[in-house]
Amino acid sequence: MGAVIRVLNKVLVKKFYERNVGLLFFVFYLMFGVVESNQLVSYHHALMFAVLTSPIFLLGVMGVWILYSAKYLQLVLSELSEPHNQFLKDYSRLWQPQQFWPMLFSIFIMDQPVLIYSAFIVGVGIASQLYWSTLAVFVFHTVKLVGSVWIVLNRINSLHERKSVMLLPAIRWPWRKYFPFFYVGHFTNQLPLALLFTKAFSLFAIIGFLQITTDHYDNRTALMGLLFGLMAHSVIIFESRRLEETYLTFARGLPISTVKRLGYLCLFYSLLLLPELLLLVVNKLIWYDVLLIGIFATSYLLHQHTRLYRHPFNIDKHTTYTFGLFLVSFMLVLFKLFWLEAAVLSWLTFYHYQRDYYNFEISA
């Protein structure tokens, strides 16, 4: 049993935290770093009390917890399909209780950031005699953990049958897809969970920052929320490049100009960002701010995409760069210089694309 747990921790748990350390650090900073130290306890006590006393707020927080679970389930299921992890087929030979408890322990460790905070919520609920809400939180996490383990074990036990287990149904478009829509079709058909999680997290981040009240109109709150959403798009960007190198290599031989190719890519990322831009419109941002933010967000994603034509095709290095770009962008947004960053990223995008598109070779 101990040997099985060590293998699962090395293959799944360690990789999950390595890939998401940047995101977890910034969530921790937002939760604890932006509040004055002398108000930290009272702030979080009030926040936990609000979660327990407002059913709508509790449902919203549960939705965020589910998205976090979807994040680690996405990684676990993708790792199970990797050729170098096919030894996990032997995991299905274990007796069912022997499968369940080690996997539950690994899922529990990956869920630690949420579970630790939830334990404090339960403590506040008991101290405040809010027993029904406290019970709802406890039951929710129990069902979530057991359900996550069931999903993973079901996938492992079907590896030898070469069956694919999808958490969401695929969407197959009935009409002909033109070149920019190959990317959209790929995500709705092959990676719907990744697309759903990314867009949901992005929209939640924007909504959360828009709740910050200011005494005057300020587009920076929307931009800061959008930046967290753009950071979450790193998986979408990487999978888009994987799609190009797996199924769209023939496109390099087509008689299409560089500008037109880049225009197709720009159209794809513009379509991808439509939900975020529509949310900004609904929240009554000035139209030219929405336009500038749209240009900034598109150039941000395009830059990361075209950068992968030059640098090693490695998800861990890509995630590290994404985190660094986020830090720089966050500071520039605070100083209202996002328009300057948009101009620089647009120039870098065209430069990298023109220089490296035809020269890229997959390397470790």
Give the separation between CA 279 and CA 296, rounded to whole angstroms. 16
What is the per-residue pLDDT across 106-131, written as a single tens digit (0 to 9) for each? 899 999 999 999 999 999 999 998 99
Share of the chain above pLDDT 70, in %: 84
Enumerate the H helices of 191-314 as residue ranges: 192-210, 220-232, 234-247, 258-272, 274-282, 287-307
Give the separation between CA 167 and CA 246, rounded to whole angstroms. 23
C-alpha dist (Å) from residue 16 to 107, 146, 154, 319, 323 = 11, 19, 20, 12, 15
3-state secondary structure of 92: helix
Non-local (6+) Cβ contacts of 5 within 8 A are 102, 105, 106
Query: H/E element holding 344?
Result: helix 338-356
**pLDDT, the chain, mean:** 81
Give the separation between CA 128 and CA 120, rounded to whole angstroms. 12
Q: What is the pLDDT of residue 238?
A: 86
pLDDT band at 266 (very low <50, low <70, confident <90, very high): very high
Does the pLDDT at position 169 exceed 60? no
**pLDDT-wise least confident of 69-73, 298-302, 303-307, 357-361:** 357-361
Does the pLDDT at position 84 exceed 50? yes
Q: What is the pLDDT of residue 243?
A: 85
Cβ atoms of 171 and 193 within 8 Å: the answer is no
Q: What is the pLDDT of residue 165?
A: 45
3-state secondary structure of 283: coil
Non-local (6+) Cβ contacts of 357 within 8 A are 252, 258, 261, 306, 309
Higher confidence at residue 124 or residue 311? Answer: 124
